[in-house]
Structure 1
Amino acid sequence: MSNQEVSPSGIPIYHHEAKERDIDFAVGDEAAIQRITTHVEQHIGPVTNVFHELVSDRVHLDILLVPPTPRRNYYTLVTCGMSNLPMTVPEGAENFRYAELMLCLPPSWAVTEEAFRKEEHYWPVRMLKTLARLPHDYGTWLYHAHTIPNGDPAQPYARSTKLACMLVELPTIVDDPHAFFTLNMEPGKAVHFFTLIPLYAEEMNLKLTQGTEALLEKLAQAGVNELVQPDRKNVAKKKWFGLF
């Protein structure tokens, strides 16, 4: 982690530089996989599919899939393996060293391996995996209200959307968000489940210029949550300012 900047609203900005290294092959922790799967099934629903990783670097990272139901009419995807290693957290945040990530997809989303060959279908999964590795690759951490652009400058994730950044947030569309958020794996190891909310570049810039609360307020009033909406309205556009 290097070259720290501060945004106009006082938010630290970090630029991460990739370093050349040999691959560090990793295998899954079967006990941890079972605990995380049980936790997801207890709070969200049955895991009917797992997108297994064949070759893993640093952490073995799978994606658990919970299909839509009449009550929860969307797919839920949760990482499983990010918490195998601790993140590098600042002093005072030691309780947040371990994390997993989740997001939700509309019931019409194509979630087959064949469909995932097209970026328009795969990009949410790609970002789950990319961001789950980011703390381990760059010696950093992910936490509530962190935003991560897709490149510098931020580029849309696929041709089918203009969304270009991710916001790390607390889960909302689960029955008991507080209970789901924390899984006590063992003494001294609490795994926290954060959700990803895709943003437009203008929305991330709004946070950097006006502060986190300004962005969160606009997202909340527009009903934006972890359910991915590739063509949703941009709450940072000027035409939205008068509504809030």
Structure 2
Amino acid sequence: MSKEENLVSMSGAPIFRYTDGEKEWEAPTGEECIEEISNHIEQYIGEVSMVFHELISDTVHIDVHHVKPTPERPFHTLVTSGMSDLKMSVPENVDSTHYMELMVTLPEYWQIDDESFKDERWYWPVRQLKFLARFPHKFDTWLAWGHTIPNGDPAEAYADNTKLSGAIILPSVNVPEGFSSLEIDNDKVIEFYSIVPLYDEEMKLKLNKGSDLLLDKFDKHGISDIIVTDRKNVAKKRFGLF
């Protein structure tokens, strides 16, 4: 990881670039809390119908737990386990979680099976879960509420059926109270955050104006963490932001 001196966004937040500093391949750690995480998911969200296990892992072994839609929760929920096996490199002066797992929420029509995942249009949310779950450990950094990560530099669309090209880390609004935190012991509390995809203009809005304005516009237009590939772009000029 590298941070260019005095490089900040217009909102005052520092900008980090990860073009250098990636660790070399490391043998993955064991799955320390997979059973606790699986039980936690089933307690609050629903039965885990499938776990997508990695065959080859680097640094941490990331699995993805799938909860199918139900009448009460008519969307797919995918949650990682393994990211929290290692402590994130949170700066000493930052009050933030050291242990995290990530999730995405997908509409009921989303195709989730091995055959469909050969098509990037269906697989990219899983790819991002795995990439971002490994990201802080590969670059000796951390993820936290409001962090944004573009899909490359310059950012590219995740698939050919969407213009979404980045993501922000936020708490999910589509989980029951109590799910967001899992206490393993006195020294380890895992927090669960959602990956919310963004358009390039929304990424720029957040960097220039801060998270509050972006989230206010999300609320105004009913944007949640459920991934919709062609949803409204709340930072377009027609919405009066620029």
Classify the TM-score, shorter chain: over 0.9
TM-superposed deviation, 1:8? 1.1
CA distance in 2, matches of 1:144, 1:20: 23
Match of 2:67 in 1: 66
Q: Deviations over 1:120-173 (max 9, x none)?
A: 110000001000011000011110000000011111000010000010001210
Name the CA distance, whole Å, in 2 between partners of 1:187 and 1:76. 28
Unaligned runs of 5+ in 1: none
Task: Pick closer, same or farther for the CA change 1:93–1:210 going to 2, 3 Å.
Answer: closer
Matched with 2:25 is 23
Map 1:21-170; keep pairs closer than 5 Å. Answer: 22-29=24-31, 32-93=33-94, 96-170=97-171
CA distances 1:77-135 after superposition (whole Å, capped 9, x unpaired):
00010000010002244661100000111111111111101111100000010000110
Inter-partner Cα distance in structure 1 for 2:162 and 2:173: 23
**In structure 1, the residue corresponding to 2:162 is in which secondary structure?**
coil
Match of 1:3 in 2: 3
Structure-2 residue corresponding to 1:205: 204
**Residue type matched to 2:181 in 1?**
T
- Structure 2 CA distance for aligned equivalents of residues 95 and 215 of structure 1: 21
Deviation at 1:20, TM superposition (A): 6.6
Identity, % of aligned pairs?
Answer: 46
What SS does the corresponding residue of 2:179 show, helix, strand or coil? helix
Structure 1 residue 220: Cα displacement: 1.6
Q: How many residues align?
A: 239
CA distance in structure 1 between the partners assigned to 2:202 and 2:22 by the alignment: 32
Root-mean-square deviation (Å): 1.5
Residue 232 of structure 1 aligns to which amino acid in structure 2?
Answer: R
In structure 2, relative to structure 1, the CA distance for the partners of 1:144 and 1:22 (3 Å cut) is: closer
| 1:221 paired residue number | 220
Identify the residue that residue 238 of structure 1 maps to in structure 2.
237
Report the Cα offset of residue 23 of structure 1.
2.5
> Alignment partner of 1:223: what SS?
coil
Which is worse superposed, 9-18 or 146-155? 9-18
- SS of structure 2 residue aligned to 1:77: strand
Q: How far 1:241 moved relative to its partner?
A: 2.4
Is the Cα contact below 8 Å between 1:23 and 1:57 reproduced in 2? yes
Alpha-carbon distance in 2 for matches of 1:15, 1:137: 13
| TM, length-normalised to structure 1 | 0.94
- Aligned partner of 2:123: which letter? Y
Q: In the alignment, is the contact (CA less than 8 A) between 1:27 and 1:56 conserved in 2?
A: no
Q: Distance in 1 between matches of 2:195 and 2:121?
A: 17
Partner of 2:194: 195
Task: Detail structure 1 runs of 4+ shifted over 3 Å in the superposition.
Answer: 18-22, 92-95
